[in-house]
A and B are shown apart, each in its own frame.
Chain A
Amino acid sequence: MSDLKEIEEAQHHVVSPKIYAIIAIALLVLTATTAGVSYLELGEFNAVVALAIAVFKAMLVVLFFMHVKYSTKLTKFTVVAAIFMLMGLISMTMADYMSRAWGRW
């Protein structure tokens, strides 16, 4: 049984509770920050800051809660491919809509 246990543990990177706690606290602090910033008058930058914080929070969740930082190259590539695909589809859609109503956006 002991060598089976070794087999299991060799293929598995266990992320420690300390890292989970740090990430959770960081996410809660960032949530409070983004809520607080929304009370400031920043013009167009309200949306920019809010989305930048959201992207950073999502990155923390993906890298640590979802273990991508410790995953295989295949998993990392899949995540990057998803982001690339989403960005590509959004920009192509926006390019279409914007060029059809040129100057009216």
Chain B
Amino acid sequence: MSDSSAIAQGAVAEAGTPHGEHPPYQRHHFESMDQQADATNFAMWLFLVTEVMFFGGMFTAYLIYRNWYYPAFVSASHQLSIVWGTTNTAVLITSSFTMAMGVWCAETRRKSGLVLSLVLTLLLGLVFLGIKSIEYHEKWEKHHVPGLHYSMEAFLNPASDPAVFKEYHDKPMALDMARHTELYFFLYFAMTGMHALHMIVGMAILIYIIFRARAGAYTSGHVTFVENFGLYWHFVDIIWIFLYPLLYLISRHQ
């Protein structure tokens, strides 16, 4: 037995029954459950602030380059499907709703409701990534993935891409502007890719939470973990709420 655990055991022995006065999940370095919940919540929010800064850098880059290479960004964004984008926004908002319902089920100790909400959240996350992969695949087939046999054909000669040309009637672009469309797609993949990575990480944690929830872990009063995961999931939703208009919507008429 190491010294520190011996000391810890001694302290417990001194205090008598260690969990008599407070819930068993209250850490002993906190004065009260109130304090523990506030500290944990604050820590989660601080993490989300760093995430805001992380995505903020990419949003700023998009803002600057869109101003510099405006015609290229406008034409390149015409390649995105507003139908897929809107569908995915609805899917993600619905997943945020099921996640919020999961937090409510945990708070009100409804075990089967919690598991159902979390499973629905996971499924909606999968639908989102499925739709995203359909979009990515289309970019791949059209050679719009930057760096990998990137093709400017759709911008030098818009009529070569009849489906998009029919809707937007873009004029042919000079080569020195058309090459900046690659920058749009770089930022598109960087931003939606980092967003998708956050969803994949979130879904991995979600699977773990589902297993723990089935064992009744979050429906006996200690909801902190589910609650803070909910904050993360809603944050990822917020990032998409901004990506959707910036990438899909604002350049439709120029």
Please state if B249 and A65 are interface contacts (CB–CB under 8 Å): no
- 1/0 per residue, CB under 8 A from A, across B228-254: the answer is 001100110110011011101110110
- Distance in angstroms from A64 CB to nearest chain B CB is 8
Please state if A94 and B63 are interface contacts (CB–CB under 8 Å): yes
Please state if A50 and B250 are interface contacts (CB–CB under 8 Å): yes
Bound CA–CA A61/B67 (angstroms): 29
Q: Which residue of B lies closest to A91 (CB)?
A: B60
Q: Which residue of B lies closest to A5 (CB)?
A: B221
Question: Interface with A: B86-94, B131-139, B193-201, which one?
Answer: B86-94
Please state if B33 and A65 are interface contacts (CB–CB under 8 Å): no
Is B14's beta carbon under 8 Å from chain A? no
Bound CA–CA A93/B234 (angstroms): 28
Is B31's beta carbon under 8 Å from chain A? no
B interface residues, how many (CB within 8 angstroms): 53
Q: Which residue of B lies closest to A10 (CB)?
A: B34
Please state if B33 and A79 are interface contacts (CB–CB under 8 Å): no
**A7 with B56, Cβ < 8 A, contacts A14-B104, A105-B67 known:** no
Identify which of residues 40-92 in chain A touch chain B, using a CB-to-CB cut-off of 8 Å.
41-43, 46-47, 50-51, 53-54, 57-58, 61-62, 64-66, 71-72, 74-75, 78-79, 81-82, 85-86, 89-90
Task: List residues of chain A with CB under 8 Å of any chain B CB.
Answer: 4-5, 7-8, 10-12, 14-17, 20-21, 23-24, 27-28, 31-32, 34-35, 38-39, 41-43, 46-47, 50-51, 53-54, 57-58, 61-62, 64-66, 71-72, 74-75, 78-79, 81-82, 85-86, 89-90, 93-94, 97, 105
Task: List residues of chain B with CB under 8 Å of any chain A CB.
Answer: 22-23, 32-34, 37-38, 41-42, 45-46, 48-49, 52-53, 56, 59-60, 63-64, 67, 82, 86, 89-90, 93-94, 96-97, 99-101, 104, 107-108, 221, 223, 230-231, 234-235, 237-238, 241-242, 244-246, 248-250, 252-253
Other contacts beyond A35-B86, A38-B252, A50-B249: 11, CB < 8 A: A7-B32, A31-B90, A38-B245, A51-B250, A58-B238, A65-B96, A85-B49, A86-B52, A89-B60, A93-B60, A93-B64
